[in-house]
Amino acid sequence: MATERRYGAHSSTADLQEVLVKRPGPAFGRAFDDPAHGFLRPVDLDRAQREHDGLVATLDGLGVRVHELDHEPATDADLVYVFDPLIVIDGGAVPLRPGKPNREGEPAILEQWLNAHAVPTAGRIEAPGTVEAGDTVWIADDVLVIGRSLRTNDPGARQLGSIVGGDVRIVDVPYWKGRAELVHLMSVISPVSDDLAVVFLPLLPAGLWRWLQELGIRLVEVPEEEYATLGSNVLAVRPGVVIVADGNPATRRALELAGVEVHAVALGEVGENGTGGVTCLTRPILRG
């Protein structure tokens, strides 16, 4: 008798069934006090929590089972962006090794939660490798692209590729404005369905653009004025159904013209202030 899958994902767009989130708490409220976090302005914690609650309600309304990480760090505001420290593949959890120094303790926190919820550890990134999940995108089922960036180095990308196995491709993410305005691979591409992706074309690696063409994936292009407001950071709940950050009307219109069902949520404080979008705020546990 076949057993029901309880975790795993080798896709960015297959039905999102279970997800982990971390509600912003006191550490997030103090994030602007430490320049290492890179927040744009002092945090309105009440507003950030209301926005996060709205995201959770939207996920729940779309049929996604939402788990909340109840760990509150003393100083690490970035744990709210639960996507980055770890990935979950069909074999289990893979704790990464963030390139941002203040996030180095986060993989163990997520690993402990997942292990306690019957998700085993499938492998881990070891020094000198560094990887952040924001530099990983499944551009098709079982086709993983890893971006070498200021946070993900070559040893880390190769380690992760060996753990995941199969069709893994590595590209270089543009330096752009450096660490002050860091670019993750997921800052510039969000798959929406098997044949559609949202992209910020000026920063899209040329090799990735070519692979998208070869796979027959159409592109919804984000205008430059909507890049900073998280226009290219889109979460596919299932093929052709997405959650986006509110305030990106051109990108939303383009998605709707492409036949996509769009659900917009306010993320100005919990997302844009810390430069983390809908995908950054969610760690998929089970897709498909």
Q: Residue ranges of the domains in the chain?
A: 16-287
What is the dotted CATH code of the domain comprising 16-287? Answer: 3.75.10.10
Q: What is the pLDDT of residue 75?
A: 84
Q: Give burial (CB, 10 Å; 0-12/13-18/19+) of 272.
A: buried
| 58 contact partners, CB below 8 Å, separation of at least 6 | 243, 263, 265
153 within 8 A of 147, measured Cβ to Cβ: no
Whole-angstrom distance, CA of residue 105 vs CA of residue 271: 21
pTM, 2 dp: 0.96
Tens-place pLDDT, residues 153-165: 999 999 999 999 9
Whole-angstrom distance, CA of residue 147 vs CA of residue 264: 27
pLDDT band at residue 1 using 50, 70 and 90 as cut-offs: very low
Instruction: Average the pLDDT over 70-83 and give the result.
Output: 92
User: What is the percentage of the chain residues whose pLDDT exceeds 70?
Assistant: 99
Whole-angstrom distance, CA of residue 288 vs CA of residue 283: 15
Q: What is the pLDDT of residue 3?
A: 62
| 248 contact partners, CB below 8 Å, separation of at least 6 | 222, 226, 229, 230, 231, 264
pLDDT band at residue 18 using 50, 70 and 90 as cut-offs: very high
pLDDT band at residue 178 using 50, 70 and 90 as cut-offs: confident
